[in-house]
Structure 1
């Protein structure tokens, strides 16, 4: 495994970090508790020391499962990354800006709001610490920008939590360049977690250059486009009706993506690697990308993800992939 420094902090995270959205079950067609915990254990056993979660993932379930999985582990060797700012509980409903309707495991509609006030951040962090069974978070991130709360208030609160020892570093998610600059007026950000993949490279224009120039790490989520770039969903793989990917995949020209996947598949095969491993490794090698999140719902997937760092991609192969990506994205 490779370990990379997060911003200007003293945190070193595994370049492949475990993404814990799917094990929350909600929006992913449910989950299996034992498989989820096995996936976390397999990740840790194969050098993945960093776990990225959020209160919203499974309405607390993802954090709870991580807490259970690591309770017998050496906490000092694990980095927990969590978030705040998506609220669904009745005490906060209607506060902040409405985001979307989620569905709980009973099939009930749950309105979700973006809300990042000082009081809510402190409340959410205490709840996360309890679910995770720890007394600090290595990285705390605002999940989505909240237009109803001044960015300075949100950043000042994270700075306070650093001073209190509740968190070791502060980051943001889904911030554009203007928001990153505004946040930087109040606090030194460690990271910005954003969507980035072979099919989604918009941040390369402005966010990546600014982050490189200002020592802000980029944490890439959805590098596999929620499984699309694994190739398996072109082979009659069925998704459950409540899986959000039924709609998510519709944003892509699937025939073109399938053709691209078929062109790069031989590179993976020649290395005795899976397509997923090739895609993850390519992502770790892109300028400005410090950490790549990879979800796993069972031990086998976790081991496969961790093995991505062992792949060597030559300059010629990178050029070939880049050439075909340019054609795909025309």
Structure 2
């Protein structure tokens, strides 16, 4: 496993970081809790020391699973990355979207990051994670009803108290990052990035490179699309958000699979899966610090971890990029 620092901090994270959204079940169909715990522990055994979660993932379920998975691991041997700012238990802030919880009950999601909410969310997360500090605390989405300065003054206070080590953001523009830095030093921005979704390279990634901020790429496998396992006519479990996602239309699946067929011989040559090849390409992309990779079971998490050990030459990366340009 490789490890990289976040920004100019002292926080070293594994280049393949365990993404625990699916572990919480919410929007992914049901998840078997013990399998999710095993997935995290198996990833750790392969050197994946960093875990990214959030309260909204299963409305606390994902954080509880992470807490269970790491309870016997020395705390300084793992890095907990969690978030705040997506509330399902209040109607304050920006209405985001209507959803259903893991039991099928209707709920409304709000983006809210007022000072008192940030403090409350941190305390709740610490309890669920069974820890006394969070390594990286990230706002999940911008809340337009709360001044960014107010939000990050609250985070700065949590850092002073020792409850948070470092501040980060998710889904922030370059301008929003600059505003947040008036209150606290940021080390990272977690943004969507994959072979088929590279929009952030227009502005946000260049800003992060210029200002020494790490980029945490989420959905690098585009929610499973880039594994090669999704076929036209794919049926998803009830509650799985991919059933209505634009990347999972028949046309998108066919185009993506045609591209994957072109690069599959390279994966085969290296004794790797397509997912491993895609993850390695991602962490070799300029500006990308780590790739978040989710897993529903131990087999998937071990395979994801294996991506870090692959070697890609400049010529091989050029070949992949050439094939990608034809999508």
Question: TM-score with structure 1 length normalisation?
Answer: 0.96
Establish whether residue 206 from structure 1 lines up as the match of residue 206 from structure 2: no
1:185 aligns with one of 154, 163, 182: 182
CA distance in 1, matches of 2:119, 2:183: 18
* Runs of 4+ displaced beyond 6 Å: none
Instruction: Give the deviation of 1:185 after TM superposition.
Output: 2.3
CA distance in 2, matches of 1:5, 1:52: 15
Instruction: Give the deviation of 1:228 after TM superposition.
Output: 0.4
Equivalence map 1:1-330=2 (5 Å): 1-89=1-89, 92=90, 94-234=91-231, 237-248=234-245, 249-250=247-248, 253-328=252-327
Instruction: Give the deviation of 1:183 after TM superposition.
Output: 1.4
User: Mean Cα displacement is larger for which, 183-192 or 300-309?
Assistant: 183-192
**What stretches of structure 2 of length at least 5 have no aligned partner?**
none
CA distance in 1, matches of 2:118, 2:182: 19
Give the secondary structure class of the aligned counterpart of 1:253. Answer: helix
- CA displacement 1:54-78 (0-9 Å, x = unmatched): 0000000000011111111111100
CA distance in 1, matches of 2:259, 2:9: 38
CA contact (8 A) 2:225 2:248 kept: no
CA contact (8 A) 2:206 2:287 kept: yes
Instruction: Give the deviation of 1:237 after TM superposition.
Output: 4.8
CA distance in 2, matches of 1:267, 1:250: 25
CA distance in 2, matches of 1:70, 1:250: 34
CA contact (8 A) 2:17 2:51 kept: yes
CA contact (8 A) 2:87 2:110 kept: yes
**What stretches of structure 1 of length at least 5 have no aligned partner?**
none
Question: TM-score with structure 2 length normalisation?
Answer: 0.97
Give the secondary structure class of the aligned counterpart of 2:153. Answer: helix
Give the secondary structure class of the aligned counterpart of 2:99. Answer: strand
Between the two proteins, the alignment pairs up a number of residues equal to 325
Instruction: Give the deviation of 1:317 after TM superposition.
Output: 1.2
